Amino acid sequence: MNINPVIMKALKNNNNIITTAEVIALGFTRALLTKYVKEGLLMRERQGVYSLSDSVSDDMYTLALRSNIIIFSHESALFLNGLSDRTPFVHSITIPSNKNISSIMQEECVTYYIKPELHQLGVVTKKTTLGNEVKCYNPERTICDILRSRNRLNIETVVSAIKNYAASSNKDLNLLAEYAPKFGVEKVLRNYLEVLL
């Protein structure tokens, strides 16, 4: 058995990944996906996300495909912005405080909640190590998030993030100063930056 050419084309156009919704939109049934998985032609990456069985899995991308409200933040955003070279074992995401994600996703990620009006502040698109685009926060927003959540994080992560940001050639201190009061971290930020800059 081979994968239908229409589905194969959609897979190839999307870095070997397809969602249940995309398959249905193409006019096929969920049952066909189950059949392909049983045949070993597709692999179920996450609920509703499938990839060609011989392709390398992109955790961040398959996670992003499952919900359009998640934005990679904290350690995951540090990694995507080049402020950390450590790939997080568990991805950190931020969602608006008036929304929910599935319990399965909550178990897979470290989830942070933020007031809806601050959820989209500083959103950028970055490429994962496998070249897929995902939404994350820019470096300035990420630093504010790290400081705001510092009691939930390892002190090494916090210090290393600020040191790497301070050493970065594309930092925007004006933008950081604009964001800090919105997240209530201007005082703690000043303390860190006085030591590092």
Would you say residue 100 has pLDDT above 80?
yes
Would you say residue 91 has pLDDT above 70?
yes
Q: What is the pLDDT of residues 37-78, one digit of tens each?
A: 999 999 898 888 898 888 888 889 989 988 899 999 999 999
Q: What is the pLDDT of residues 164-182, one digit of tens each?
A: 999 999 899 999 999 999 9
Mean pLDDT of 90-101: 95
| 79, 9: one domain | no
| 25, 119: one domain | no
| 65, 135: one domain | yes
Range of the domain at 48: 5-57
Q: What is the pLDDT of residues 117-133, one digit of tens each?
A: 999 999 999 999 988 99
Would you say residue 150 has pLDDT above 90?
yes
Name which of 150, 51, 69 is nearest 113 in CA terms: 69
| 99, 175: one domain | yes
In degrees rounded to 5, what are phi and psi of residue 28?
Answer: -110, 170
| 129, 180: one domain | yes
The backbone region for 194, taken as left when phi is positive above 0, alpha when psi lies in -120 to 50, beta otherwise, is alpha
| 16, 68: one domain | no
| 18, 45: one domain | yes
Higher pLDDT, 102 or 137: 137
Average pLDDT of every residue of the chain: 92
CA angle 76, 78, 80 (to 5 degrees): 70
| 39, 67: one domain | no
Band of the pLDDT at 112, cuts 50, 70, 90? Answer: very high
Distance from C-alpha of 138 to C-alpha of 78, rounded to nearest angstrom:
9
pLDDT score for 70 = 96
| 70, 33: one domain | no
Structurally, how many domains does the chain consist of?
Answer: 2
pLDDT score for 1 = 75
Q: What is the pLDDT of residues 79-89, one digit of tens each?
A: 999 999 888 88
| 111, 132: one domain | yes
As a dihedral over the C-alpha atoms of residue 67, residue 73, residue 75, residue 76, rounded to 10 degrees, the angle is 40
Mean pLDDT of 14-28: 91
Would you say residue 197 has pLDDT above 70?
no
Would you say residue 94 has pLDDT above 80?
yes
Distance from C-alpha of 73 to C-alpha of 14, rounded to nearest angstrom:
24
pLDDT score for 20 = 93
| 52, 68: one domain | no
Pick the last residue of a domain from 57, 72, 96. Answer: 57
| 31, 69: one domain | no
